[in-house]
């Protein structure tokens, strides 16, 4: 048992145990305040209290990025971080009038180009992934409506083809029953 589950009872010499239960109202609220204590035990004198957890896990608001997009984003962040470090070193070398200032400025320019490429890579990778794997369409999407209409037209065409085939199989070959 940890310290959160064990407390000394003030009136008794025995130890009163407190169970670790999440606070029922703590899920949606972020406000402060102590957890309500409920009296239980023999004659209501034993104090059992529930406490609020340190954090409440909430579902993610957005879906996780696809793996290729995430790797491109990590690559871009690393390139940007290196670029910022190089720019800072170039600035400090310039202030100190060091011989290293000129090479650092040149490498900062190159790193800026690479960082720009990294950010564009994230954007292009995201677009390619969306084109290949599809985008979640909204119910009012025009594409969904067009697909639905095409499906209905194909079903009608197939039903008409089946009806024509049925008529031909009967032997009448499309002739009327009375001449």
Helix or strand (DSSP H, E) at 115: helix 101-133
Query: How high is the pLDDT of residue 69?
Result: 92
How many Å apart are CA 115 and CA 140, to the nearest integer?
38
pLDDT at 166: 86
Determine the Cα–Cα distance for residues 23 and 73; give it in Å rounded to an integer: 38
**pLDDT at site 121:** 95
Q: pLDDT tens track of the chain, all 179 residues?
A: 555 544 444 444 444 444 444 444 444 444 444 444 444 444 555 556 788 888 888 887 888 888 899 999 999 999 999 999 999 999 999 999 999 999 999 999 999 999 999 999 999 999 999 888 876 655 556 777 888 899 999 999 999 999 988 888 876 555 566 55
What pLDDT is recorded for position 132?
86
Q: Residues 84-93: pLDDT tens digits?
A: 999 999 999 9
**C-alpha radius of gyration, the chain, whole number:** 36
Asked if 125 and 68 count as a contact pair (C-beta separation under 8 A), the reply is: yes
Return the pLDDT at 57: 84
Per-residue model confidence (pLDDT) at position 171: 66
Residue 7 sits at the vertex; the CA angle it makes with 6 and 9, to the nearest 5 degrees, is 140
What is the torsion angle, in degrees rounded to the nearest 10, for the CA atoms of residue 12, residue 17, residue 18 and residue 20? Answer: 170
pLDDT at 84: 96
Contact at 8 Å (CB) between 31 and 16?
no
* pLDDT number for residue 15: 46
The closest alpha carbon to 81, from 108, 103, 101, 105, belongs to: 108
pTM of the model: 0.45
Cα dihedral angle (30, 33, 35, 38), rounded to 10 degrees?
-140
Residue 125: predicted pLDDT: 94
- What is the DSSP secondary-structure string of 117-171? HHHHHHHHHHHHHHHHH--PPPTT-HHHHHHHHHHHHHHHHHHHHHHHHHHHHTT
């Amino acid at each position: 048992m940890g310290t959160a589950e064990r407390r000394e009872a003030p009136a008794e010499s025995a130890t009163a145990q407190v169970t670790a239960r999440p606070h029922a109202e703590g899920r949606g609220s972020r406000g402060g305040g102590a957890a309500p204590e409920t009296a239980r035990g023999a004659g209501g004198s034993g104090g059992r209290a529930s406490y609020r957890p340190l954090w409440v896990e909430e579902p993610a608001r957005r879906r996780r990025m696809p793996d290729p997009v995430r790797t491109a984003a990590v690559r871009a962040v690393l390139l940007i971080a290196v670029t910022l470090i190089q720019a800072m070193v170039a600035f400090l070398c310039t202030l100190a009038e060091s011989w290293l200032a000129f090479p650092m400025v040149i490498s900062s320019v190159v790193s800026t180009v690479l960082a720009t490429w990294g950010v564009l890579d994230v954007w292009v990778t995201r677009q390619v992934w969306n084109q290949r794997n599809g985008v979640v369409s909204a119910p009012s999407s025009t594409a969904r409506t067009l697909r639905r209409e095409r499906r209905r037209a194909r079903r009608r065409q197939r039903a008409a083809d089946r009806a024509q085939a049925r008529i031909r199989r009967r032997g009448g070959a499309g002739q009327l029953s009375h001449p």
